[in-house]
């Protein structure tokens, strides 16, 4: 016998699932177009793995709901048990165990996928240390939740005992507290890492706003995680509404993990969007450049050859005077593909001012291409970087 509100519950859960699978499918298409099926990276395989756990989660919450519940009962429901309802609740209780495990695997797979992306885009930067710490915390959280789930109720088969005399076997109280602590804290850590990275993105302001909006959905994930625990732990709110919040939390996790790659696909399909929100700046006149170049005379130690890199990988040697000015961080391709417009990653480089007495057609600077080549001389790394989306 299904719980009340079955029609709305089924519609919501399967709609969330359909959107999630669409997002995952588009993400995999985007990655396959850039890298090919044989060159997928760790986060791509985690996404494929997530399909299994996400599907199992949606199936299990519906099984719990439409089997009539679990051994989580009010005193009145326990008093009204019949052999038929006991059999239904035993089945539902077993599905609750599957549900809890599927939820952990779905959410933690998404966390790991995001961390692998963060590691790739922060390689060689000071933020990389924060990523390593986050990996350790997320890994510890996964181990802690697994131990909490499998050691919370002893003997283990009491999880589907109807009725059960062990409060932990129907309330999952200790496990829920452990899972909440690791889950919410790791979400906060990952959000604190993501926002500063996105703020430094070298993309037009409107595109940056979209990406910030996607990652800010992490705030909703934290809220959903809190509400899930309130509906399953706080006595005045103890209802099966926690099943709805399980689906919402897991679904938004899937969206946040995969939407950035989908945005890259959208930019590839609609290249005009790459200029959306771009502001143009006034180009200095030839006389201004001449004045600037004559006022700043670099030393011979800073004079090197730069290579001009064209769109098809050709290069032409070109003399230029370079003066080191500052160290910067550039964020351009989170997937490290560097195979199409609209992608971004982080480069740690040394920026140089280029001083020339004249500007010729041999030194074009385009706003629609991304050029990024590195030259090493002695112990100093020199980078010629002209990036745009």
pLDDT at position 4: 59
Tokens 């200029």 appear where?
Answer: 275
Q: Angle 34-217-336 (CA atoms, 0-180°, nearest 5)?
A: 25
C-alpha span between 376 and 353 (Å, rounded): 17
Tell me the backbone φ, ψ of residue 252, rounded to 5 degrees. Answer: -65, -35
> Nearest-CA neighbor of 352 among 388, 312, 299?
299
**Burial of residue 346 (number of CB atoms within 10 Å: 0-12, 13-18, 19+):** buried
Euclidean distance between the first and the last CA atom of the chain, given in angstroms as a whole number: 55
> Per the structure block, which two tokens stand in for 71?
């051994």
C-alpha span between 379 and 269 (Å, rounded): 42
pLDDT digit string (tens) for the chain, length 389 residues: 556 567 889 999 999 999 999 999 999 988 888 878 778 888 889 999 999 999 999 999 999 988 878 888 888 888 888 999 899 999 999 999 999 999 999 999 999 998 998 888 777 777 788 899 999 999 999 999 999 999 999 999 999 999 888 989 998 999 999 999 999 999 999 888 888 877 776 767 777 777 778 777 888 999 999 999 988 888 777 788 889 999 999 999 999 999 888 877 887 777 766 666 565 444 444 444 444 444 444 444 443 343 443 444 444 444 444 444 444 444 444 444 444 444 444 444 444 444 433 333 332 333 333 333 333 333 333 333 333 33
> Per the structure block, which two tokens stand in for 269?
């399909």
C-alpha span between 250 and 103 (Å, rounded): 7
pLDDT at position 77: 86
pLDDT at position 176: 94
Encode 9-29 in three state secondary structure.
Answer: HHHHHHHHHHHHHHHHHHHHH
Q: Spell out the residues 6+ positions from residue 39 whose beta carbon is closer than 8 angstroms to its own.
A: none
Name the 3-class secondary structure at 197.
Answer: helix
Please give the model's pTM, rounded to 2 decimal places.
0.69
Contact between 3 and 68 (Cβ < 8 Å)? yes
Name the 3-class secondary structure at 86.
Answer: helix
């Amino acid at each position: 016998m299904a719980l009340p509100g079955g029609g709305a519950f089924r519609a919501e859960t399967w709609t969330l699932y359909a959107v999630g699978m669409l997002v995952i499918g588009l993400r995999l298409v985007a990655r396959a177009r850039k890298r090919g099926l044989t060159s997928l990276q760790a986060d791509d395989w985690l996404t494929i793995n997530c399909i299994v756990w996400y599907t199992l989660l949606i199936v299990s919450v519906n099984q719990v709901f439409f089997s009539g519940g679990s051994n989580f009962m009010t005193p009145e429901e326990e008093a009204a048990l019949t052999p038929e309802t006991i059999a239904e609740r035993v089945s539902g209780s077993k599905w609750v165990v599957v549900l809890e495990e599927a939820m952990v695997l779905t959410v933690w797979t998404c966390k790991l996928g995001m961390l692998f992306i963060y590691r790739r885009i922060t390689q060689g930067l000071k933020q990389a240390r924060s990523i390593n710490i986050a990996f350790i915390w997320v890994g510890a959280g996964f181990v802690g939740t697994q131990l909490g789930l499998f050691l919370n109720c002893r003997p283990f088969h009491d999880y589907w005992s109807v009725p059960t005399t062990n409060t932990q076997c129907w309330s999952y109280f200790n496990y829920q507290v452990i899972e909440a602590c690791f889950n919410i804290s790791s979400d906060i850590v990952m959000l604190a890492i993501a926002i500063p990275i996105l703020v430094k993105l070298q993309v037009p302001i409107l595109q940056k706003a979209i990406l910030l909006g996607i990652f800010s959905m992490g705030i909703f994930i934290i809220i959903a995680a809190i509400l899930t625990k309130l509906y399953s732990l706080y006595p005045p709110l103890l209802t099966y509404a926690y099943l709805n919040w399980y689906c919402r939390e897991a679904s938004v996790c899937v969206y946040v993990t995969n939407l950035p790659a989908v945005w890259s696909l959208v930019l590839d399909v609609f290249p005009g969007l790459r200029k959306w929100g771009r502001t143009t700046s006034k180009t200095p006149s030839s006389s201004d450049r001449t004045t600037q170049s004559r006022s700043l005379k670099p030393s011979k130690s800073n004079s090197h050859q730069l290579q001009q890199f064209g769109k098809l990988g050709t290069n032409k040697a070109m003399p230029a005077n370079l003066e080191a000015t500052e160290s910067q961080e550039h964020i351009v391709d989170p997937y490290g593909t560097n195979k199409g417009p609209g992608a971004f990653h982080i480069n740690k480089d040394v920026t140089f001012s280029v001083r020339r007495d004249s500007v010729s057609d041999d030194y074009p600077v385009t706003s629609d291409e991304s050029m990024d080549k590195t030259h090493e001389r002695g112990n100093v790394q020199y980078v010629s970087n002209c990036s745009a989306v």
